Amino acid sequence: MKPNHIKTYLPLLLTIVFLVACKNVKKEEAQVKPLNILWLVTEDMGAYIPPFGDNTVATPNLSRLAKEGVIYPNLYSTSGVCAPSRAAIATGMYPSSIGANHMRTTSYTAVTGLPKYDAVPPSEVKMISELMRMNGYYCTNNYKTDYQFAAPITAWDESSPYAHWRNRGKDQPFFAVFNFTDTHESGLFEPYGHRNIETRHYQSGDRSYSWKTKTKPSAAKGRMTETETTIHISRDTKFKVPPYLVDNEVTQRDLWKLYNNIAEMDKQVGAVLKQLEEDGLLENTIIMFYGDHGGPLPREKRLIYDSGLNTPMIVRFPNKVKAGTKFNNLVSFVDFAPTLLSLINQEPKSYMQGEAFLGNYQSKKPRKYIHAAADRFDGFTDAIRAVRDNQFKYIRNYRPEQGYYLPVAYREKIPAMQELLKLKSEGKLNEIQMQWFRENKPKEELFDCKNDPYELNNLAEKPEYKEKLVELRNEMDRWLAEIKDNPSLPEKELVAKLWNGKKTKPVTANPLITFESDTVIINCPTEGASIGYKTDPKAKTWQIYTQPFQVAANSKIMVKAHRIGFEPSKTITTEISKK
């Protein structure tokens, strides 16, 4: 499909489809009804589904979505792991430009010796969900919140296992995110079956929630509940094993689990789509399915080979516009935030480092490169940067003296990983399988991803590829300078930079509340802080303060401020009285 096709058809969709749908309104007075936007997000997901050429297991719901929508085979995360990639999606900025590049900045402090810290983007940066709320959208997140920073109270109308578009006001457009965990790397752990591995907890506003690792949406309310694993694919199936893994019974079983988990996830996607259809909203909603990065297997997740970065995306537009087509341009996670704004006819923010690939503000030129980074993963640090065009990838290793393989304990729970380590110790791995375990690595790597999709043959020293090497090397230098990324900066110095040399995390100043007659005016001395307020203490949602507002006499108002990367302010409660 030509790059400008979506740009041309989407405005047409917005102006025609909903004008026709409007009832009891004169044609000359008809208003365009905003589209809803639904994100269906799975974890640790390579292109392992039929719409992208892998027919190992049936995925009827995703296959239907693809048949009725557009597939995007060239979507790339900014990191081979979830939290930095989620930071890029939430802000439209590269993780390494805002201090979000090290995996889990509030964990592993016992190993790193560092204090807990959040990424600190520029003061004007808001989460994309907050920007959508400011444009009238009801925004729900069900239920991942791992952004490398604490979400302000203004980020979502709802963020919990029970968040759902059905809780919004009548006719209010929504932006809803549903996260599916079945395909996560932990789904390969043993024992496999009823995956009640652990209960995780997180904080959303002033409420705590917990969930089991094995979940599914119920048909009634979208709440998350435990479920048994269903067998979707025969255990006798012979799976294709990538050359960097060992093709034996252990790896075959892990692949069986991988595809079985995908089928289970597909069922959950179907449950949400069924709710959308039951509510009569299918043709009022742009549906977007994607994974949070590449696959879960060893030498996939956490690495910046395509196996760790590339993830499938499907977008279904109302009335199946451009059904069954393919968009071959490169797309990066940093493009999601500007694209959301573009879809609601809002110009992307100037601080955003991505570019819209849909909507009225779609970039006029197709993306030429995607960029990625790898730094600390849990307790182990590396420093790698990558740039890729439509065919070639350039990788720069800032620690060439250090081997590729990092002994991340969580990954070593995967049986196929345990098998690799066992056979390595026995000297039974072949040359390809041993590449990952090299004691050092070249400073520069260049791969032809079209002819060498597993990125096994480094072309950086070959004279015939010098021109491409120089092109991508220069592009990396340009990108690093533009986003002010210093890959050699120790994490300790990064924290000091984010905190302006102070030893403690910055704190958002308490909001200042003033009254003029019955009008409330709120300010916060901290530049860029989001301000949330409630006029009903029992209300679940904090409203976003954007301008002075009127309140009834003898009522209470609760106010809280929070700049991303800072500690939130205290909650200030004030009683409003009139003489």
Whether 139 is in a domain gets the answer: yes
Query: Are 384 and 391 in contact, with CB atoms under 8 Å apart?
Result: no
Final residue before a domain boundary, out of 348, 368, 388: 368
Asked if 129 and 176 sit in the same domain, the reply is: yes
What pLDDT score was predicted for residue 61?
98
**pLDDT(135) > 80:** yes
- Is residue 506 included in any domain, yes or no? no
Residue 1 confidence (pLDDT) above 50:
no
Left if phi > 0, otherwise alpha if psi is -120 to 50, otherwise beta: which for 423? alpha
Boundary of a domain, candidates 313, 345, 368 = 368
**130 within some domain:** yes
Q: Are residues 422 and 517 in the same domain?
A: no
Query: Does residue 33 belong to any structural domain of this protein?
Result: no
**pLDDT score, position 517:** 81
Question: In which band, very low, low, confident or very high, does the pLDDT at 537 lie, cut at 50, 70 and 90?
Answer: confident
Q: Which candidate in 82, 139, 449, 524 is catalytic?
A: 82
pLDDT digits (tens, 9 = 90+) for 301-357: 999 999 999 999 999 999 999 999 999 999 999 999 999 999 999 999 999 999 999
Asked if pLDDT for residue 24 goes beyond 50, the answer is: no
Measure Cα distances from 471 to 330, 388, 394, 465, 476 in Å: 17, 11, 9, 10, 9
- Tell me the pLDDT of the chain averaged across its residues: 89
User: For the segment 347-390, what is each residue's pLDDT rounded down to a tens digit?
Assistant: 999 999 999 999 999 999 999 999 999 999 999 999 999 999 99
Which range has the worst mean pLDDT, 24-28, 427-431, 533-537? 24-28
pLDDT at residue 5 greater than cutoff 90 = no
Domain that residue 436 falls in: 373-492
Rounded mean pLDDT, 264-280 = 97
Q: Are residues 226 and 103 part of one domain?
A: yes
Q: In this model, does residue 494 exceed pLDDT 60?
A: yes
516 SS3 class: strand
Strand pairing class (519-523; 216-217): unpaired
pLDDT given for residue 199 in this prediction = 33
259 in Cβ contact with 235 (< 8 Å): no
Would 25 be classed as within a structural domain?
no
Tell me how many helices (H) and strands (E) the chain has.
Answer: 13, 25
* pLDDT tens-digit readout, 163-187: 999 999 999 999 999 999 999 999 9
The answer as to whether 73 is a domain residue is yes
**Least trusted range by pLDDT, from 26-35, 60-69, 393-402:** 26-35
- Any idea what the CATH number is for the domain that residue 238 is in? 3.40.720.10
Average pLDDT over residues 38-54: 98
Active site residue 82: yes
Name the least confident of 349-353, 473-477, 516-520.
516-520
Residue 437 covered by a domain: yes
pLDDT tens digits for 85-110? 999 999 999 999 999 999 989 888 88
Instruction: State yes or no: pLDDT of 126 exceeds 50.
Output: yes
Residue 507 in domain: no
CATH code where residue 398 lies: 3.30.1120
Residues near 536 by beta carbon (within 8 Å), at least 6 away in sequence: none
- Residue 229 banded pLDDT, cuts 50, 70, 90: low
pLDDT surpasses 60 at 220: no
- End residue of a domain, out of 492, 521, 547: 492
